[in-house]
Amino acid sequence: MSEDVQLVQQCLTGDELSMRAFLSKYQGLVFSLCLRMLGHREDAEDVAQDSLVRVFRNLEKWDQQRPIKPWLLTIAANRCRTALEKRSKLPSQNDLAIDLASERREHSKHEQEQLDIGEELELALGELREDYRTCFVMYHQEELSYQEIGEVLGCPQGTIKTWLHRARAQLAKRLQDRGVVADPSMLEAT
Amino acid sequence: MNCQEIREQLDAALDNQHVISNQTNAPRHAEVLSHIESCSDCRVLYEEHLVIGTALAAWVPQRPADDLTDRVIDAARQAGLVSSNGSAVAGTFDSTSMGNADPRVGRLDSDAGVVVPPTADSTSPQGRNIWPTVVTVALVLMAVAIVFREKPGTVADNNPDPKQLVPEQPPELFQPPQDQVADVSHLVADAQSAWQGITSRVSHQASGFSVFVPDLKDDLGISNELKSATDSDNSSDDAIPRKSSEPSAVEKAFEFLFKDDDSSGTLTI
């Protein structure tokens, strides 16, 4: 029996401690997707909360033979789409920029450069199409496979691979337009 | 290596979270680098590849607010998804509580990544506190059972008064008609005559067994008259003490039934 199966079975009993352990393990994943799809921190937290409550309500429907991450992200992605339909507008990149600016802290020059590049990537992500952005985040941040992303977004693997390639290309152009250049010292870490 | 293969190599490297550079030693990477030296189109792609690689290396995942967990738990509780006897207190769980040594509280197994439920050790304060409650409940149930079993009045309240079941006047005794009483007298007389006939016949046929009669009569405490009547035939029974000088009811019955038919002094039965 996998760790996820044990944890889910304990959550199904309504045990609060198990539910908190489940949240500590997966709420970041759900929130991250919501933030990428909605582009607004407060909205992302609201939708993440709604998504996670729905997850607990439907835990018995999870197929224990399959990984839980795509199942979680499918629920979150559906809730994000519903929120976007209600909002009737695409996520504003300005909202995300403001959020990121408010989280600035004092760092060393190197750390600040890294943060700057990371923030530039966030800004560039905000300009991408939603499906490109979601695909990029799921692959590079949540480390889902093509197949798992396809299950979440309801698309074949070929489509996911194409979207990911286009997302990288568009991000690279936007980053270069913003003056971001490759840093050899950072490449050493990759 | 042609341009299509270069693109595939660049994508494959990013798929594996790698960046192709002059600092990597893979043989295929050397071929890519030598190709981009002479291909301007592929060099553009390679620069984009480096930029994405640099951004990914600096990318820090966004984290939700600290209170998101509490918000989700509260919402789940309102939806009835959290049991009322949850062992955790809202806001007390974090990663530092993984090493909680209190057996009454569930802990997070960092190795297995699962929550180990609280133990029900009888030696723990929680385990000891259960038994008084169990004993009290058992005693109450026993008391209730005894009360309802030993209180027939509660059941008989709906029954009629037992006095009403018994008639005040006893039933009349059977009184045969007068014309049938004479018939009964005739039946009794006939029975007496039949009995006398039987006894006379038996006494005639069993006269040769009179020697055994004294033993039977002595065992039953027969009167002196009968005893002395048998002494002439068997005098060895004198040692048997008499129980009473007055004849008993049995003796009287034997005198009535086995009285001498003649005055010869010999007993005939």
Residue ranges and CATH numbers for the domains of chain A are: 3-180 (1.20.140.160)
* Shared domain check, B149 and B194: no
Distance between CA A47 and CA B75 in Å, rounded?
A: 12
**Does residue B250 form part of some domain?**
yes
Q: To which residue do tokens 């760790």 refer?
A: A3
| Structure confidence at residue A108 (pLDDT) | 55
Question: Apex CA A158: angle with CA A154 and CA A164, to 5°?
Answer: 85
**Tens digit of pLDDT at every position of chain B (269 positions):** 789 888 888 888 888 878 887 766 667 778 888 898 889 999 888 888 988 988 888 888 788 998 999 999 999 999 888 887 644 443 334 433 333 333 333 444 444 444 444 444 444 444 446 777 888 888 999 988 888 775 555 555 556 666 666 656 666 666 767 767 777 778 888 888 898 888 888 777 766 555 444 555 555 555 455 555 445 444 444 444 455 556 677 777 777 776 655 544 445 44
Check whether residue B192 and residue B246 sit in a common domain. yes
From the list A25, A41, A117, the residue facing B54 with the nearest CB is: A117
Cα separation of A77 and B93, whole Å?
A: 28
Are residues B20 and B49 in contact, defined by beta-carbon separation less than 8 angstroms? yes
Scanning every residue of chain B, which has its alpha carbon at the shortest distance from the alpha carbon of A180? Answer: B51
Q: Is A32:A52 a contact under the CB 8 Å cutoff?
A: no
Q: CA of B196: how far to CAs of A141, B5, B216, B217, B261, in Å?
A: 129, 144, 22, 21, 12
A107, B44 contact by CB (below 8 A): no
Q: Are the Cβ atoms of A48 and B68 closer than 8 angstroms? A: yes
pLDDT tens, residue by residue, A98-155: 454 444 445 555 555 666 788 888 888 888 898 899 899 899 988 899 999 999 889 9
- pLDDT of amino acid B59: 85
Contact A49 B61 (CB under 8 A): no
pLDDT of residue B264: 47
Closest CA to A50 of A22, A90, A78: A78
pLDDT, tens digit (0-9, with 9 covering 90-100), for A94-113: 455 445 444 444 555 555 56
pLDDT for B211: 47
Residues contacting residue A62 through CB under 8 Å, at least 6 positions apart = A8, A68, A71
A43, closest residue in chain B (CA to CA): B64
Check CB contact under 8 Å for B54 and A186.
yes
Of B54, B61, B93, the CB nearest to A20: B93
Q: Domain end: B156, B177, B209, which one?
A: B156
B16 lies in some domain: yes
Of A17, A49, A187, the CB nearest to B53: A187
**Cβ contact, residue pair B69, A190, below 8 Å:** no
**Does residue B200 lie in a domain region?**
yes
Domain containing B30 equals 3-58
From residue B171, alpha-carbon distances to A82, A153, B3, B105, B223 in Å are: 94, 99, 128, 81, 45
Mean pLDDT calculated for residue range A47-57: 94
Rounded Cα gap, residues B153 and B170, in angstroms: 28
- How many whole angstroms separate alpha carbon B179 and alpha carbon B177? 6
Instruction: Say yes or no for a CB contact (<8 Å) between A16 and B88.
Output: yes
Q: Give the end of a domain, one of B115, B137, B156.
A: B156
| Overall number of domains in chain B | 3
Determine the Cα–Cα distance for residues B1 and B27; give it in Å rounded to an integer: 12
B197 and B252 assigned to the same domain: yes
CB B227 within 8 A of CB B217: yes
Chain A residues with beta carbon closer than 8 angstroms to that of B64: 27-28, 31, 44-45, 48
> In Å, how far is B13's CA from the nearest CA of chain A?
11
Q: Look at residue B63 and tell me if it is in a domain.
A: no
Size of interface A-B (CB pairs under 8 A): 179
Give a yes or no: residue B180 inside a domain. Answer: no
Q: How confident is the model at residue A88 (pLDDT cuts 50, 70, 90)?
A: low
B32 assigned to some structural domain? yes
- Does A16 score more than 90 pLDDT? yes
CA distance B73 to B76: 5
Same domain, residue pair B150 and B201 = no
CA–CA gap between residue B240 and residue B226 (Å, rounded): 14
Q: By CA distance, what is B11's nearest residue in A?
A: A165
Give the mean pLDDT of A30-39: 87
Q: CA–CA separation, A123 vs A95, rounded Å?
A: 10
pLDDT at residue B54, as a whole number:
86
Retrieve residue A47's tokens.
């939708």
Compute, in degrees rounded to 10, the torsion defined by CA atoms B69, B73, B75, B80.
160
Taken in order A160, A162, A163, A169, the sign of the CA dihedral is positive
Instruction: Choose among A111, A141, A176, A182: nearest CA to B23.
Output: A182
The pLDDT assigned to A162 comes to 94
For the cut 70, the answer to whether the pLDDT of residue A183 exceeds it is no
Q: Is B264 a member of any domain?
A: no
The answer to whether the CB of B92 falls within 8 A of the CB of B70 is no
By Cβ distance, the residue of A35, A176, A188 closest to B23 is A188
Q: Which pLDDT score, from 0 to 100, does residue B94 have?
A: 41
Question: CB of A155 within 8 A of CB of A66?
Answer: no
Task: Return the ∠ at Cα B225 (arms to B221 and B226), rounded to 5°.
Answer: 60
- The verdict on ipTM greater than 0.95 is no
Burial of A159 (0-12, 13-18, 19+ CB in 10 A): middle
pLDDT of residue B91: 38
A92 Rama class: left (phi>0) / alpha (psi -120 to 50) / beta: beta
For chain A, what percent of residues have pLDDT higher than 70? 81
B263 within domain boundaries: no
